[in-house]
Amino acid sequence: MKLCTFAVETSLGPARRVGVVVEGGVIDATAARVALLERSLPPDAALRVGQAQVPPDMVALIGSGPVALEWVGDAVQAVLASGQEATRGGLAIRRPPGSVQLLAPVPRPPGIACFVTWSAHVDDSRDKGFGMLNFPSRDGELRAYYKANPDAVEGPGTVIAPPAYAAETDVECEMAAVIGIGGKDLTREQARAAIIGYTIFNDVSYRQIQRLEMAFGLGPTKGKDADHSNVMGPWLVTADEVGDTGNLTMSFVVNDRVVSRCSTSEMAWDFADLASYLSRGQTLRPGHVLTSGSFPGGSGLDAGIRLHKGDRVAMHVDRLGVLESTLG
């Protein structure tokens, strides 16, 4: 399934909901579940039970485990088969294209760990003046990552407005895994099972100040964590639908021109390995995001191009879709 978080206008302002992207629009997951339950329960009871089983919040939903996704899948199939447009209580089920605003699938993750998994990206950045050390050994125990700002998450179509101190705005094309139930000290297989799905991640970077910060040795701070700097979406594709993540093509596109492509087969470690490493001594919570880092050529820095205000950037990943943004 392609799970999304979307906003709809209400009399009290925008309200966030969880949906399933289907041909012809978005199905409201909670409303679909309520509609299915109304076949055997009174409307008020169906509403209470439906909201408990399929909450209209992404973190609450994926934190409920695989059974909640089964409830979603059953409900979506039922309403698609029946053509039902609303619950008996008046909740809209199907939202046509263009009628909703897609937000980041996980609007506020409990944490974001940005890993580095391509040695060529590290080598190239170091050659261009970023004070990075050597890439960790593929066979060693170390995995390198920094913690991104979970309050700086934006969704697809966002205009990336740089902070006043930014002289150079860049982007990085990345893939991200999202944790479902989570856990602590996970084995690789436990970590693989803990990943609920995958999305695309645009790691916005402000290179001038990042270059100074990296020389200090503690990693990027203001070079990465300004508002609007973690763009995610357009949706969360469940792990069962994505399948093997070991050979997906990633593409970095600027103003409709393909700048670069790369395969996930070239990552030093897979997402199960990264999730297992992150869980050492740390409890991973539902909605925690782990990114792949930029592939070689997957950023303006790597590709040797300078991005400007008004440029349209798009990140393509096989089976995940396209994440588009505009530089402000």
CATH number at residue 316: 3.90.850.10
Residues 289 and 171 placed together within one structural domain of the fold: yes
Residues 251 and 294 placed together within one structural domain of the fold: yes
pLDDT profile of the chain (328 residues), mean per 10:
93 90 96 98 97 98 96 98 96 91 97 92 68 77 93 96 92 98 97 98 92 78 91 98 97 98 97 98 98 96 95 98 97
Please tell me whether the peptide bond between 110 and the residue prior to it is cis, using omega within 30 degrees of 0. no
**In the 8-state DSSP scheme, what is residue 163?**
-
Residues 154 and 30 placed together within one structural domain of the fold: no
Helix (H) or strand (E) holding 239: helix 239-242
Q: How many CA atoms lie within 13 A of 175 on its CB side?
A: 32
Residue type (1 letter), 305: I
User: Crossing angle of helices 66-82/29-37, nearest 10°?
Assistant: 70
Distance between CA atoms of residues 284 and 181, nearest Å: 8
Residues 182 and 277 placed together within one structural domain of the fold: yes
Please enumerate in sequence order all residues whose Cβ is within 8 A of that of 198, keeping only pairs 6 or more positions apart, or say none. 175, 176, 177, 178, 236, 237, 239, 242, 245, 271, 320
Domain boundary among 73, 102, 131: 102
Residue 302: beta bridge partners? none
Residues 78 and 142 placed together within one structural domain of the fold: no
User: Which residue segment(s) compose the domain that 90 sits in?
Assistant: 2-102
Residue 24: beta bridge partners? none
Residues 289 and 235 placed together within one structural domain of the fold: yes
Residues 138 and 173 placed together within one structural domain of the fold: yes
Residues 189 and 250 placed together within one structural domain of the fold: yes
**In the 8-state DSSP scheme, what is residue 140?**
S
Would you state the torsion angle of the CA atoms of residues 292, 298, 302, 307, taken in this order, to the nearest 10 degrees?
A: -120
Residues 80 and 108 placed together within one structural domain of the fold: no
Q: What is the pLDDT of residue 126?
A: 67
Residue 257: beta bridge partners? 254
Domain boundary among 44, 79, 102: 102
Residues 185 and 79 placed together within one structural domain of the fold: no
Please enumerate in sequence order all residues whose Cβ is within 8 A of that of 262, keeping only pairs 6 or more positions apart, or say none. 118, 249, 250, 295, 296, 297, 298
Distance between CA atoms of residues 141 and 34, nearest Å: 47
| Domains held by the chain: number | 2
Q: What is the pLDDT of residue 203?
A: 97
- The CATH number linked to 84 is 2.30.30
For the question of whether the overall pTM of this predicted structure is more than 0.85, the answer is yes
Instruction: Give the end-to-end CA distance of the chain in Å, rounded to a whole number.
Output: 32
Distance between CA atoms of residues 286 and 159, nearest Å: 28
Residues 165 and 44 placed together within one structural domain of the fold: no
Residues 97 and 143 placed together within one structural domain of the fold: no
Domain boundary among 75, 102, 129: 102
**In the 8-state DSSP scheme, what is residue 231?**
E
Closest CA to 132 of 142, 121, 143, 117: 121
